[in-house]
A and B are shown apart, each in its own frame.
Chain A
Amino acid sequence: MATTIRAAAKDEGTAPVPSAPRPRPAWRSRLYRLDLKGSPYAFIAPFFICFAAFGLFPLLWTGWLSLHYVDLLKPDVMEWKGFDNYTRLWSNDQFWTALRNTFTIGVISTVPQLLMALGLAHLLNYRLRGRSFFRVAVLAPYATSIAAATLVFVQLFNPDYGMINWFLSMFGIHGTDWYADTWPSQIAISTIVTWRWTGYNALIYLAAMQAVPKDLYEAASLDGANRWQQFTRITIPSIRPTILFTIIVSTIGATQLFGEPMLFGGGVGVSGGSAHQFQTLSLYMYELGWPSRQLGRASAVAWTMLLILLLIGLVQYLFARRNRTKLGG
């Protein structure tokens, strides 16, 4: 389709429109061609310039810094360390704790979140009374900031007077320490993430579901497929690209989790709890870079995160490819 434009443009440039017999001045047609050739680049330039300046260049610089000893307060003094910062991470317990926490918190926030979003989207796709209300209601947490949401959930999860322990005590579960114990604190943090993002993901799924042709369902129901079979055999395969997209996006989000654990910890937020029980990699990076002032080591953590993301991306890519060949599409 795009070629039609080019063709039209060529007509315009070489052979003038019949109704205007006077040929255009040469400078005008040159200007016109310049506009046609140059403007696409002009339109995309702001994005790429900003990305290069504030994204790519700093990212590479981070890699360079990770090979040095650099003090936050004396950033101009760089001492070459080679891969020391990385080997130190390897033999550092706190790094492994942070890595494990990032992984577990990531899994227990991402998996239920996306599954619930899928279910909600399916229900929101039914013919509903008051569907605007339900859609806006599930999206409302998205409008809440990390800071506000975390502060509220810190209250709700308070072991002594929090609403959640009070609620659980009605079912005979008493005195869970949501701050100090490893699994409860990680579950609490995952709850905040899940609460904020489920509705958003549900709406993205809903958008994809609405593009699935209706006759597929009609044909399936004629063949005797029940609603569950329609959901698993038609809906899920049809929106697979969208599902993959949300998996990637939320994996990235989980890898860089910072605000929730930071604020959930209150006064000991940077260390991720008294025993680092919910310190994530981002938090560890911040602790190394700012309170401990070791920018080189913090950069090494940042690049480790990048490598982990690339690894996850690769796994997801291979997984997606295998799935696709299996489905023959």
Chain B
Amino acid sequence: MATNALPTTGAKRRFRPGAGDHDKAGPVTYLVLGLAAVVSLFPLYWTFVAASSTGERVAQSPPPLFPSGELWNNISTAWDQAAMGTALVNSTIVAGCVALSTVLFSTLAGFAFAKLTFRGRNALLTLVVATMTVPPQLSVIPLYRIITGLDWGNHLQAVILPSLVAAFGVFFMRQFLSEALPFELIEAARVDGANSLRIIWHVVFPVARPAMAVLGMLVFVQSWNDFFWPFVVLTQQNPTVQVALSAIGGGSGHDINQAVIMTGALVGTLPLLLIFALLGKYIVGGITAGAVKS
């Protein structure tokens, strides 16, 4: 069933900006897009406003619209109430490992599926795509038993190991390499006597680098934001950012300073927002360049 989701990739033509006058944006387009940008960005802006306020100020009606001067105070409170420091380090380690391994294994598998012939290739590729449709939560209960059986509960490897590969990544790299890597390049390397590992290192990796970067960032974001599984296996002593946030926000609610909750949300999101502010153009470019023609 899922194979139908595969793009047929019929069209190869590129969009040429300025190809005609009918594709020029009018004022209504700007208005709607401006509105969309405001709706997208306002909650983020307001997180900052709340994080820089006192608890009383957040709970006013009407709510504050401009930042105030309590940010550092709130950050230190949030730091004390939830293990934010540990959480940030943990999330960086987890998301980093997961992104690295996913990119590496996806590139290898994607290359094999895109450019090598072997028995059972199409069936296996269909299987990869089909696994995308199986939610990981359905495996959680036995996984929990495996992890606790290994006495890995509350250890970071419990979060890292189940996420080492991703079907999406394999599919993503296959799509990219199918188009971006010419067969001639591989043949030339083979004629020169290069074995598969050398071809991977000297031909595939250099060609795949832009897609690897985009996939790495996507996986990093996804892993950083992952909630369910870390929530199940980790505790507040050794949390990722999301688990730490769930503790600040999921408690008894009213006696916790709302501004501090927002500070936690801000601290937990800021690293990713910074990445997006700096590299957003490339991420967007990578997604829209057609690498994910999914």
Contact = CB atoms under 8 A, between A and B. Distances in A.
Contacts, number: 375
B141 interface: yes
Contacts of B141: 58, 61-62, 65, 289, 295, 298-299, 302
A204 B277 CA distance: 20
B131 A214 contact: no
A212 B43 CA distance: 34
Given A5-B186, A133-B37, A262-B250, A146 B170 contact: no
Interface in A1-56: 1-6, 8-9, 12, 17, 32, 35-37, 39-44, 46-48, 50-51, 54-56
A214 B24 contact: no
Given A139-B284, A147-B249, A267-B253, A245 B11 contact: no
Given A9-B190, A211-B293, A166 B276 contact: no
Interface string B134-154: 111111111101101000000
A2 B117 contact: yes
Contacts of A245: 5-7, 294
B25 A41 contact: no
Interface string B99-126: 0000001101101110111100100100
A17 to B, nearest CB: 7
B157 interface: no
Interface string A82-126: 000000000000000000000000000000000000011001111
A180 interface: no
Contacts of B225: 144-147
A86 B113 CA distance: 40
Contact of A47 (B170, B197, B200, B221): B170
Contacts of A51: 131, 165, 167
B245 A147 contact: yes
Nearest to A324: B4
A40 B116 contact: yes
B283 interface: yes
A212 B191 CA distance: 38
Nearest to A161: B61
A212 B11 contact: yes
Given A125-B15, A259-B228, A151 B262 contact: yes
A135 B284 contact: yes
Nearest to B272: A143
Given A12-B190, A62-B139, A245-B5, A148 B245 contact: yes
Given A145-B242, A151-B245, A210-B290, A161 B142 contact: no
Given A155-B262, A210-B14, A210-B15, A146 B137 contact: no
Contact of A242 (B7, B131, B200, B221): B7
Contacts of B72: none
Contacts of B180: none
B186 to A, nearest CB: 7
Contacts of A152: 43, 46-47, 50, 262, 265
Contact of B40 (A123, A137, A295): A137
A187 interface: no
Interface string A125-139: 111110011111111
Contact of A263 (B17, B44, B246, B277): B246
Contact of A40 (B11, B63, B112): B112
A316 interface: yes
B139 A54 contact: yes
A199 B161 CA distance: 30
A209 B14 CA distance: 10
Interface string A304-325: 0110010001101100110000
Nearest to A179: B253
A294 B262 CA distance: 35
B249 A259 contact: no
B68 to A, nearest CB: 15
A282 B23 CA distance: 44
Nearest to B227: A259
B164 interface: yes
Nearest to A316: B1
B269 A241 contact: no
Contacts of A140: 40-41, 44, 273, 276, 280
A59 B130 CA distance: 14
Contacts of A137: 36-37, 40-41
A80 interface: no
A231 interface: no
A248 B2 contact: yes
Contact of B195 (A35, A62, A142, A262): A35
7 contacts: A44-B124, A75-B145, A136-B284, A146-B242, A267-B250, A309-B134, A317-B1
List 3 tightest A-B contacts by C-beta distance, closest first: A58-B139, A136-B280, A39-B196
Given A39-B116, A313-B1, 14 more contacts: A2-B116, A12-B190, A44-B113, A58-B141, A62-B138, A132-B281, A135-B281, A136-B281, A147-B265, A204-B292, A214-B15, A214-B16, A245-B5, A313-B2
Interface of A: 1-6, 8-9, 12, 17, 32, 35-37, 39-44, 46-48, 50-51, 54-59, 61-62, 65, 75, 119-120, 123-129, 132-156, 160-163, 166, 195, 199, 203-204, 206-214, 217-218, 221, 227, 238, 241-242, 244-245, 248-249, 252, 255-256, 258-259, 262-263, 266-267, 269, 282, 285-286, 289-290, 295, 298-299, 302-303, 305-306, 309, 313-314, 316-317, 320-321
